[in-house]
Amino acid sequence: MKLVVATNNPHKLVEFRRILEPIGFQVLSQKEAGVQVNPEENGETFADNARIKALAVYEACGLPCVADDSGLCIDALDGRPGVHSARYLGEDTPQEQKNAGILKEMANVPKEKRGAQFVSAICCVLTRDELVETVGICSGEIGEKPLGEGGFGYDPIFMVNGKSYSQLSGGEKDAISHRGKALRQLHDRLKNRFDDKK
């Protein structure tokens, strides 16, 4: 069964494929599905934005579609960048500069107050009237400097158990990450749904 992911981000696509292909889905990117929509993500929550993206791509291609909206919520910054993570400090600002900007904002924040959470909300549209939604949260802290060569986005500055997301292997990251948690919930709910129909 084909499942279109509402993204052209290759890093996100890898994470979706790692978790959803083993239960029988052929996971396609928007580009592979021939979809060229870019809906305005104007929701107030991660769940709102995931739903907006998933429904837009579903309407464009008619295939089951899944979307994720995720971001970094930093305690000392009153939850910023939050739902604006992708556009924080300017939509076209290189990610390295965004990470540096956050570290600058956090320069005088002591270790015990550097708490942060990565949040992922996922919406899977199977039909116009059947949506499966999940949320995953990973708690950690903001590091003192970027670490690691892997990952993407804010991964180099987000620390969990002494390592940044960028220092973790794909399997290690999936086991603890916000998106990994949300995707495993989705995996279980889709597996149960399709097993029940056999």
Please give the positions annotated as active site. Answer: 69
CA 134 – CA 186 distance, rounded (Å): 6
Task: Give the 3-state secondary structure of residue 111.
Answer: helix
**Geometric angle at alpha carbon 140, from 88 and 29, rounded to 5°:** 55
DSSP 165: G
CA 198 – CA 193 distance, rounded (Å): 9
Give the list of residues 6+ apart from residue 52 with CB closer than 8 angstroms, or none: 39, 40, 41, 42, 43, 67
Is residue 151 a contact partner of residue 166, using CB atoms and an 8 Å limit? yes
